[in-house]
Chains A and B, each alone.
Chain A
């Protein structure tokens, strides 16, 4: 029973990572209606940036948050401006090719610069375990979960209370009408893309102590992010939270009770099933069909 409880708790902790991973992706899809296949590579940038900052400039992981988040915001902003914006009215497949191209480029650039070796961000204090009535919790995981939930709430408040947040929602509803109301759509899109990537920056620094970084690390995570975003309903932040919890727990249970090697297979099978049976996700309205 204790083991089962521990597995469930581990799943919840994993959900924290998944929330952080998917929230930016779903925000970008909800507003810009673009599926960013390079999402994982932005996470990779965040992880490498954290690794470099903590290893070579002596910053702690927490201190690295600000520069990494800024870097990711700028990367996202530039990506929207240079690659996505010119393709907004192009056919869907052009956006797929463009973001896949960016993904391939970034992944191989990392291979070129850092080599195929695995790099680890050293932060021993983050990996301390605390025990609450027999259940073990890793500090860094706990922080990730708390921050991810705060991020989701913060994003909601931002979108409903601030002017720019409301512009983002307006543009998401109807691009042309928002433009007629004086919203600078290009700017809103670039900021949204930047924000989506900034969320990744935050998560990247927090998970850096637990996950080593290598050039293809993004591919591993991005598929989970897609599973969650679609399960939760595209563009739906609340849905993404529920979906993260579900996938986190499924992942954890499958890893323990079935096989560590096959847990991903199970998650991807769920993904395929969802896409086939209910492409609108659990709570979503946007349809993939």
Chain B
């Protein structure tokens, strides 16, 4: 209750403050203040839209002015040529920008960090140069002037108050969309991809469509505001519209306010823009570059001193996650945990995962040499072999991360039909869950969010994902860590998180890659119990493990690989007493020495 009240009070205070802030320029009544207020709304809105790609998805686009420009030019050209109201022009512009976003982001979704930024700059430059070159439609370098039609229909008003109201509306649209995305599955997925691509694919996230989706939404919002702002300025030209400096400015507001937060970009614009504008106002008679220099300096200082931005640095803005999770845990007491709810329907000797004739070469090295194996329903199959034997390569082939040179991997789907594995995402959706030998947590996210991401494979609903995550956390002994960032876990903790996140996807087949390495003896006992429990619900487990005690205790069957090929297959006892196996691990000298 206390927490509830606290939140409500804060919410009320926030709403009151926002309303006062929104009304202030109108009350002040000066056109100059109103102009700055419009600028804040426009750039705040642009930065909010940019943040969907730059902050949530972590792709630093420095070419967002392309979409802004498409919005501006489409609206103005349609108005000049067909006397079409800018409201329609805005919609057409948004559609074109959406298409442009697909064109830009589909081929470039793989590019990382600075390379994505460079490609967006290159797109922007190409469009800008073409706009300058095109005299007929876009008016070349001299630009286009908007005919003065006044009225709501034309988005142009005599009184600046109306323009301001309209800019506020578009800002709220942008904020609303950004807020919705952040609070829903898509926002979680974008953050996951930003943090770690491979782990995201392993829990069934489609990188391409998620990233393109973010870009399309962001581009359409940017275009919308571009249309409005063109009407406000009543004049557009290529250099100011398809401007790299403006793209940078937009990104800067988002960074200063807090990348990846919902309100950060607006707050960044709210704080930096007036300072720079006022300085420009005071000093304009003396010098030209003042506000740009201020922007550059502020940006460098922000990166060096407050990399998390204003919203990220101030605790006032971060809700008390720990208290919220404690309340959640209390609200959902442990009844029967998720595993108990699922009766095992094990059909004896039914093969669920089958690899046949797998070959994988890396240049001259044959890492997997004609490997075939069968995993049966409800069985625990051990995969052992000396270092460099090709165990992890085999895992990557089974989970779709690597494509074999020849051979196939097939999984029986829920109806018992064999389906060939072609990609990690498809593999996860079919029900294969895998962990990584080197833990791949989504470092910037909390442990709870990490596990929730797994749960999103089967639900779109955030509270539902949270419930599943709490269940899994209890099962894996993570409940006391839920509010921590994943990066703060110990090595053992990260391994457990790997398992928890994978379990949350409710896999039918579980591939565990050395989950016991680095665990203490007590932790290993717990892990053994857990894996048994999981198996007892009908899940088939394939585990790579060096920890012999666990392997011997758990496995029904063991496959030994050496130098990329299957050396032998049998019960744990048969395997440990086999001379070939001993030789593979210890060398032929061992036999003679003994």
A223 CA to B125 CA in the complex, in Å? 9
The segment out of A44-52, A195-203, A269-277 that lies at the interface is: A269-277
B348 lies within 8 A of chain A by Cβ = no
Give every chain A residue within 8 A of B293 (Cβ-Cβ).
104-105, 108-109, 111-112
A110 lies within 8 A of chain B by Cβ = yes
Asked whether A96 and B297 contact (CB < 8 A) given A112-B287, A262-B133, A279-B111, the answer is: no
Establish whether residues A272 and B248, one from each chain, have CB atoms under 8 Å apart when the complex forms: no
Minimum CB distance partner of B110 in chain A: A289
Establish whether residues A104 and B60, one from each chain, have CB atoms under 8 Å apart when the complex forms: no
A192 to chain B, nearest CB (A): 17
B500 lies within 8 A of chain A by Cβ = no
Select which of A105, A111, A230, A275 is within 8 A of B300 by beta carbon. Answer: A105
Give every chain B residue within 8 A of A107 (Cβ-Cβ).
289, 292, 296
Establish whether residues B245 and A92, one from each chain, have CB atoms under 8 Å apart when the complex forms: no
B70-97 vs A, CB cutoff 8 Å, 1 = contact: the mask equals 0000000000000000000000000000
A91 CA to B260 CA in the complex, in Å? 14
Give every chain B residue within 8 A of A112 (Cβ-Cβ).
287-290, 293
A215 lies within 8 A of chain B by Cβ = yes
A-side interface size class: 35 or more
Give every chain A residue within 8 A of B58 (Cβ-Cβ).
91, 93
The segment out of B114-122, B163-171, B400-408, B473-481 that lies at the interface is: B114-122
Asked whether A275 and B111 contact (CB < 8 A) given A35-B118, A94-B307, A107-B289, the answer is: yes
A102 CA to B112 CA in the complex, in Å? 21
Asked whether A288 and B289 contact (CB < 8 A) given A35-B118, A83-B300, A272-B126, the answer is: no
B328 to chain A, nearest CB (A): 30
Minimum CB distance partner of A98 in chain B: B303
Establish whether residues A271 and B122, one from each chain, have CB atoms under 8 Å apart when the complex forms: yes
Interface residues of A in 36-54 (CB under 8 A from B): 37
* Interface residue count on the B side (C-beta < 8 Å): 48
Establish whether residues A265 and B126, one from each chain, have CB atoms under 8 Å apart when the complex forms: yes
Asked whether A276 and B107 contact (CB < 8 A) given A95-B114, A223-B122, A262-B133, the answer is: yes
Interface residues of B in 549-569 (CB under 8 A from A): none
Q: Which of A98, A108, A264 has the most CB of B within 10 A?
A: A108
Minimum CB distance partner of B125 in chain A: A268
B244 lies within 8 A of chain A by Cβ = yes
A107 CA to B291 CA in the complex, in Å? 11
A91 CA to B126 CA in the complex, in Å? 29
Give every chain A residue within 8 A of B32 (Cβ-Cβ).
none
Asked whether A100 and B290 contact (CB < 8 A) given A223-B122, A272-B119, A289-B115, the answer is: no
A86 CA to B301 CA in the complex, in Å? 12
Establish whether residues B303 and A108, one from each chain, have CB atoms under 8 Å apart when the complex forms: no
A226 CA to B121 CA in the complex, in Å? 11
Establish whether residues A102 and B289, one from each chain, have CB atoms under 8 Å apart when the complex forms: no
Give every chain A residue within 8 A of B299 (Cβ-Cβ).
97-98, 100-101, 104-105
Give every chain A residue within 8 A of B295 (Cβ-Cβ).
101, 104-105, 108
Give every chain B residue within 8 A of A62 (Cβ-Cβ).
none
A106 lies within 8 A of chain B by Cβ = yes
Establish whether residues B289 and A110, one from each chain, have CB atoms under 8 Å apart when the complex forms: yes
A210 lies within 8 A of chain B by Cβ = no
B231 lies within 8 A of chain A by Cβ = no
Establish whether residues A101 and B303, one from each chain, have CB atoms under 8 Å apart when the complex forms: yes
Give every chain A residue within 8 A of B288 (Cβ-Cβ).
111-112, 115-116
Establish whether residues A288 and B115, one from each chain, have CB atoms under 8 Å apart when the complex forms: yes
Select which of B133, B289, B292, B304 is within 8 A of A98 by beta carbon. Answer: B304
Give every chain B residue within 8 A of A259 (Cβ-Cβ).
133
A238 lies within 8 A of chain B by Cβ = no
Inter-chain residue pair count (beta carbon < 8 A): 150
A190 CA to B244 CA in the complex, in Å? 29
A98 CA to B299 CA in the complex, in Å? 7
Establish whether residues B119 and A275, one from each chain, have CB atoms under 8 Å apart when the complex forms: yes
B132 lies within 8 A of chain A by Cβ = yes
Establish whether residues B297 and A101, one from each chain, have CB atoms under 8 Å apart when the complex forms: yes
Asked whether A97 and B119 contact (CB < 8 A) given A104-B295, A215-B289, A276-B108, the answer is: no
A144 to chain B, nearest CB (A): 24
Establish whether residues A102 and B123, one from each chain, have CB atoms under 8 Å apart when the complex forms: no
Interface residues of B in 122-139 (CB under 8 A from A): 122-123, 125-126, 129-130, 132-133
A193 CA to B574 CA in the complex, in Å? 61
A87 lies within 8 A of chain B by Cβ = yes
Minimum CB distance partner of B296 in chain A: A105
Establish whether residues A109 and B289, one from each chain, have CB atoms under 8 Å apart when the complex forms: yes
Establish whether residues B303 and A94, one from each chain, have CB atoms under 8 Å apart when the complex forms: yes
Interface residues of B in 305-361 (CB under 8 A from A): 307
Asked whether A223 and B121 contact (CB < 8 A) given A105-B293, A262-B133, the answer is: yes
A196 to chain B, nearest CB (A): 16
Asked whether A264 and B129 contact (CB < 8 A) given A103-B296, A105-B296, the answer is: yes
A101 CA to B300 CA in the complex, in Å? 5
A90 lies within 8 A of chain B by Cβ = yes
Asked whether A97 and B255 contact (CB < 8 A) given A83-B300, A112-B287, A268-B126, the answer is: yes
Give every chain A residue within 8 A of B302 (Cβ-Cβ).
97, 101
Asked whether A105 and B121 contact (CB < 8 A) given A97-B255, A112-B289, A276-B107, the answer is: no
Asked whether A111 and B113 contact (CB < 8 A) given A98-B304, A265-B126, A271-B122, the answer is: no
A55 lies within 8 A of chain B by Cβ = no
Minimum CB distance partner of B295 in chain A: A104
Minimum CB distance partner of A29 in chain B: B114
Select which of A93, A223, A261, A265 is within 8 A of B60 by beta carbon. Answer: A93
Query: Which 9 pairs show the lowest CB-CB distances between chains A and B?
Result: A105-B296, A111-B289, A108-B292, A101-B299, A92-B113, A104-B296, A108-B289, A288-B115, A35-B114
Q: A97-B251, A100-B251, A108-B296 are in contact. List 18 more A-B contacts (CB 8 A).
A: A35-B114, A92-B113, A93-B54, A97-B60, A97-B252, A101-B297, A102-B300, A107-B292, A108-B293, A112-B287, A112-B288, A265-B130, A265-B133, A272-B119, A275-B111, A276-B108, A288-B115, A289-B110
List 26 A-B residue pairs with CB atoms under 8 Å apart, sorted by A's residue number.
A37-B114, A91-B58, A92-B113, A93-B54, A95-B114, A97-B255, A98-B300, A100-B251, A101-B297, A101-B298, A101-B300, A101-B303, A105-B295, A107-B289, A107-B292, A108-B292, A109-B293, A223-B125, A230-B118, A268-B125, A268-B126, A268-B129, A271-B119, A275-B122, A279-B111, A289-B112
